[in-house]
Amino acid sequence: MRDIEEITPAQALARQAAGRLLIDVREPGEHALGLPEGALAVPRAALEAEPGRWAADPAAEVLLICGSGKRSLLAAQALAAAGYARPVSVSGGFERWRAEGLPEMPGAREDADFLERYSRHLRLPQVGLDGQRRLAEARVLVVGAGGLGSPAAYYLAAAGVGTLVLADDDVVDRSNLQRQILHTEARIGVAKVESARTALSALNPRLAVETAPVRVTADNVEALVRDVDVVLDGADNFPVRYLLSDACVLLGKPLVYGAVHRFEGQVSVFDAGRRRGEAPCYRCLFPEPPAPEDAPNCAEAGVLGVLPGVIGLLQATEVLKLILGLGDSLAGRLLHFDALRMRFRETRLAPDPGCPACAPGRRLGVHDSLSPACRVTP
**pTM reported for the whole predicted model:** 0.86
Beta carbons of 4 and 87 less than 8 angstroms apart: yes
The Cα–Cα gap between 33 and 106 comes to 7
The Cα–Cα gap between 234 and 377 comes to 19
Residue 209, SS3?
A: strand
In the prediction, which pLDDT does 207 show? 97
In the prediction, which pLDDT does 375 show? 46
Where do the H-state alpha helices sit in the chain?
9-17, 28-31, 44-49, 51-54, 70-81, 93-99, 112-117, 119-122, 128-137, 149-159, 192-203, 221-226, 238-251, 282-285, 298-301, 307-324
Could you report how far apart the first and last alpha carbons of the chain are, in Å? 75
Per-residue pLDDT of 242-284, as tens digits, reads 999 999 999 999 999 999 999 999 999 999 999 999 999 999 9
The Cα–Cα gap between 263 and 259 comes to 11
SS (H, E, C) 233-293: ECCCCHHHHHHHHHHHHHHCCCEEEEEEEECEEEEEEECCCCCCCCCCCHHHHCCCCCCHH
* Rg of the chain taking only CA atoms, in angstroms: 26
In the prediction, which pLDDT does 370 show? 41
DSSP 202: H
In the prediction, which pLDDT does 362 show? 74
**Average pLDDT of the segment spanning 189-212:** 98
The Cα–Cα gap between 46 and 63 comes to 16
**Average pLDDT of the segment spanning 199-207:** 98
Per-residue pLDDT of 139-180, as tens digits, reads 999 999 999 999 999 999 999 999 999 999 999 999 999 999
The Cα–Cα gap between 259 and 245 comes to 14
> Per residue in 223-236, is it b (16+ CB within 10 Å) or e — as a string?
ebbeebbbbbbbbb
Residue 126: count of CB within 10 angstroms of its CB: 13
Per-residue pLDDT of 305-337, as tens digits, reads 999 999 999 999 999 999 999 999 999 999 999
Order of strands, sheet of 163-167, starting from the edge strand that comes earlier in the sequence: 208-212, 163-167, 139-143, 230-233, 255-261, 264-270, 333-338, 343-348
In the annotation, is 298 catalytic?
A: yes
Residue 310: count of CB within 10 angstroms of its CB: 18
Catalytic residue among 66, 284, 298, 358: 298
Query: Which structural domains are found in the chain, ordered by start?
Result: 5-111 (3.40.250.10), 138-372 (3.40.50.720)
Q: What is the DSSP string of 144-176?
A: -SSTTHHHHHHHHHHHT-SEEEEE---B--GGG
